[in-house]
Structure 1
Amino acid sequence: MSVFADDKLVVAISSRALFNFEEENRIFESGDAQAYMALQLQRLDQPARPGIAFSLMKKLLAFNDAQAQRVEVVILSRNDPVSGMRIFRSGKANEIKLERGVFTQGRSPFRYLKPLQAKLFLSANAEDVKEALAAGFPAARVLTESVQAGANYPNEVRIAFDGDAVLFSDQAERVFQDRGLDAFQQHESDNVLQPLPEGPFKPFLVALHRLQASGTPAMKIRTALVTARSAPAHERAIRTLMHWNIHVDEAMFLGGLPKGEFLREFEPDFFFDDQTRHVAHAAQHVPAGHVSGGITNQGA
């Protein structure tokens, strides 16, 4: 059995983010826990279909080989242990390696992220994601209504990130919300040489670059920054990444244009954004997740 290492990318994921359990979840949400457990037990030998984050997990696990286990996917779920049996069986049937799982039977599972040493948490439960973000973990609510990832890049993990409140802090976004676009542009020009503070997903981006550097030539990682920023505010974002000694493969400074069509062309396995309208539009084209932190989500 593997043990966690400092350089291992551990991803914690809920069962609904990894597999399509939407039919079963409707019973779970109705409050009839016994009926839910009975249905999962009845379907024990019926593998669940891949969910929205399945492609991302499958590709990340492809970085493992006989020499090194660089990635581990761990189930972290509000499911009960009985339902956990079906999740593990579904993993085996779908050829996705699952060894560890924590099942909390309706209780919030986010507190187990620390002992798991998770560097990313994906869940369909909004409250669990908020708690994980508040505890300092990169986390996103998977939109289960998202379009599934495409199949054009089987040997590339393709991930797209929004900038402010995702890769970067919401410092600049607060200026925009309080004082408008002109003040935001001026603020970013005045502070162009001052790196932005890091946001919740900077550690995950760092982990991806470490994985790329230590990984296998059979798999590659391609990242994109997809932001509503435009010139002249683009420069501070680029300089911040340079200061971190991190590069992204593509950068899209869209100046408020809808992101979905651009993401459709990039074809990511997953896209992360803090604004619900951007995430909802993106989900019509690609797998998407809502990072429910920062000023735009206060009071939500």
Structure 2
Amino acid sequence: MALSLVDKLVVAISSRALFDFEEENRVYEEGNLHAYEALQRDRLTVPAKPGVAFPLIRKLLALNAGDHRVEVVILSRSDPISGLRAFHSCREYGLTIERGVFTRGRAPFGYLKPLNASLFLSANQQDVRDALAAGFPAARVLPESAKMASTYPDEIRIAFDGDAVLFSDEAERVFQKDGLRAFVGHEIHNKDLPLADGPLKPLLEALHRLQKLADQAAPMHIRTALVTARSAPAHERAIRTLMAWNIEIDEAMFLGGLDKSAFLREFEPDFFFDDQIGHCESARVVTATGHVLSGIVNAS
């Protein structure tokens, strides 16, 4: 019987999101593919430094201490030989990653479906757009994001923006078109109507299932937070939507336009997802950040 990833939380991640390949990527972006591949060949046995998403991936893999519930797959535009270096680096850091797809410059997002991916993290903006358009939770990692030394080694902490991330951009469209007063009125009028699914709802669902499966003795636990520019009374529709989904979050921050970075510094997430590049730029100074290129504010 063939193996299946259907019952797993599957994270597909580019080699550049997992490891610090920024120097090599600069050579690649100069258009000299052969120089890039030669550089990677020369460094095959040199472990790459941890990248933006490395701390998150290491913690997610720690959930497999009991049952195998998380699968991480490297999904990369790199060539297969460069993939050798990625796998060598995984072994050096003790990351149990066994699967990888390397497409040598071609868009890799098509492989998300057979992988049954719950999340795709990549530094390539177009690959993330394509993945989101195909219905997969995805975010563009900001390679220059901070990698904090977490004071919560036994917790996976993930923070999400609300509109256009966990929820659809329905309310954001009202705000962008008619302003704050119209947005608030719209949300009060529709407070009992759950918002439609946003692109990262499947990821939150998967994390919630893992939370319910974990016992008190587990070596790693999950803690989630909603960090949104909404404020009362527009907060109510967000909470009622989560209730309708039967999903519990651990913390909710309704900031009414306050800068999110100070609050993220206190929560100390291993990763933060937001659809607005301005919020991402502020957050990346504090923690690893992913730009969810969805909704009206990211319309191309």
- Give the TM-score, by structure 2 length: 0.97
**8 Å Cα contact 1:164/1:172 also seen in 2:** yes
- Partner Cα separation in structure 1 for residue 36 and residue 5 of structure 2: 36
3-state DSSP class of the match of 1:61?
A: helix
Quick one: which amino acid aligns to residue 39 of structure 2?
L
Quick one: which amino acid aligns to residue 76 of structure 1?
L
Partner of 2:132: 133
Quick one: which amino acid aligns to residue 102 of structure 2?
F
CA displacement at 1:133 relative to structure 2? 0.2
Quick one: which amino acid aligns to residue 181 of structure 1?
L
**8 Å Cα contact 1:160/1:225 also seen in 2:** yes
Q: 5+ unaligned residues in a row in structure 1: which ranges?
A: none
Quick one: which amino acid aligns to residue 85 of structure 2?
R
Partner of 1:94: 93
- Find out whether 1:280 has 2:291 as its counterpart: no
- Partner Cα separation in structure 2 for residue 260 and residue 4 of structure 1: 39
Quick one: which amino acid aligns to residue 32 of structure 2?
D
3-state DSSP class of the match of 1:69?
A: coil
The sequence identity of aligned pairs, in percent, is 65
3-state DSSP class of the match of 1:164?
A: coil
- Partner Cα separation in structure 2 for residue 77 and residue 54 of structure 1: 15
Partner of 1:224: 225
CA displacement at 1:247 relative to structure 2? 1.0
Quick one: which amino acid aligns to residue 234 of structure 1?
H
- Partner Cα separation in structure 2 for residue 4 and residue 122 of structure 1: 21
3-state DSSP class of the match of 2:147?
A: coil
Quick one: which amino acid aligns to residue 239 of structure 2?
I
CA displacement at 1:107 relative to structure 2? 0.7
Quick one: which amino acid aligns to residue 192 of structure 1?
K
- Partner Cα separation in structure 2 for residue 199 and residue 38 of structure 1: 41
3-state DSSP class of the match of 1:39?
A: helix
**8 Å Cα contact 1:4/1:117 also seen in 2:** no
CA displacement at 1:261 relative to structure 2? 1.1
Quick one: which amino acid aligns to residue 60 of structure 1?
L
Partner of 1:264: 265
Matches within 5 A, 1:100-111: 100-111=99-110
**8 Å Cα contact 1:150/1:269 also seen in 2:** no
Matches within 5 A, 1:241-260: 241-260=242-261
Partner of 1:156: 155
Matches within 5 A, 1:1-300: 3-65=3-65, 67-215=66-214, 217-299=218-300
Quick one: which amino acid aligns to residue 280 of structure 2?
V
**8 Å Cα contact 1:150/1:267 also seen in 2:** no
CA displacement at 1:5 relative to structure 2? 3.5
CA displacement at 1:68 relative to structure 2? 1.9
3-state DSSP class of the match of 1:62?
A: helix
Deviations 1:204-236 (A, max 9, x none): 000001112223522110000000000100010
3-state DSSP class of the match of 2:212?
A: helix
CA displacement at 1:6 relative to structure 2? 2.3
3-state DSSP class of the match of 1:152?
A: coil
- Partner Cα separation in structure 2 for residue 97 and residue 125 of structure 1: 24
Q: 5+ unaligned residues in a row in structure 2: which ranges?
A: none
What RMSD over aligned residues (CA atoms) do the two structures have, in Å? Answer: 1.0
- Partner Cα separation in structure 2 for residue 14 and residue 215 of structure 1: 28
Deviations 1:110-143 (A, max 9, x none): 0000011111000000000000000000000000
3-state DSSP class of the match of 1:292?
A: coil
Quick one: which amino acid aligns to residue 46 of structure 1?
V
